[in-house]
């Protein structure tokens, strides 16, 4: 209803307005200008994306970026800069995109949320995508926009993104 701003229950006619739970999503870049991507423990092999996580009550967005990266892959973060956002009103979140500067590069995945993570140069990422060893998120996602922002343009995947 109302152009997507509300849902009306078909059983009782009540209106339901979406919550907006903030979540951060970030590219992590090291001093050698490599990009860190992770693979969720719930995904098939080869799916890689930027790291992300929900903001906890009373936590700043920058602190969330640092905490999520440290928890998921064990990398410490310095500077954090906002790049953009993508709303997801149903299921109730807004993705706030950042670029984060890594202070450390040794990766220790948590094994629960993240099963694998690795650093990529631009050439390594392009080659891995072309060989279909790495599948990136769809173009409509902020994750893809953040990756291509770091890359400096579109990454040709032949339309073969994960779904």
Domain boundaries, the chain: 18-151
Cβ atoms of 142 and 95 within 8 Å: the answer is yes
Encode pLDDT of 65-92 as tens digits.
Answer: 999 999 999 999 999 999 999 987 657 7
Closest CA to 73 of 96, 44, 103: 103
* Lowest mean per-residue pLDDT among 38-52, 82-96, 114-128, 129-143: 82-96
Per-residue confidence (pLDDT) for residue 51, from 0 to 100: 97
Per-residue confidence (pLDDT) for residue 57, from 0 to 100: 94
Quote the pTM value.
0.86
SS3 assignment, position 113:
coil
CATH for 18-151 is: 3.90.79.10
Confidence band, pLDDT 50/70/90 cuts, at residue 1: confident
Pairing of strands 114-120, 77-88: unpaired
Closest CA to 36 of 46, 57, 20, 51: 51
Per-residue confidence (pLDDT) for residue 44, from 0 to 100: 85
Encode pLDDT of 9-29 as tens digits.
Answer: 999 999 887 778 899 999 999
Q: What are phi and psi of 26, to 5 degrees?
A: -145, 145
Q: How many Å apart are CA 161 and CA 13, to the nearest integer?
A: 39
């Amino acid at each position: 209803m109302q152009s997507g701003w509300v849902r009306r229950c078909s059983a009782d006619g009540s209106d339901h307005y979406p919550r907006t739970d903030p979540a951060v999503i970030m590219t992590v870049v090291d001093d050698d200008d490599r990009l860190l991507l992770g693979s969720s423990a719930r995904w098939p092999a080869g799916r890689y994306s930027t790291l992300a996580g929900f903001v906890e009550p009373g936590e700043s967005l920058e602190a969330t970026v640092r905490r999520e990266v440290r928890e998921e892959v064990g990398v410490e973060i310095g500077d954090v800069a906002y790049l953009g956002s993508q709303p997801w009103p149903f299921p109730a979140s807004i993705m706030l995109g950042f670029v984060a500067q890594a202070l450390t590069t040794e990766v220790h995945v948590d094994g629960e949320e993240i099963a694998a993570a690795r650093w990529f140069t631009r050439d390594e990422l392009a080659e891995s995508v072309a060989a279909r060893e790495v599948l990136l998120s769809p173009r409509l996602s902020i994750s893809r926009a953040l990756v291509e922002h770091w890359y400096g343009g579109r990454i040709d995947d032949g339309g073969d993104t994960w779904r």
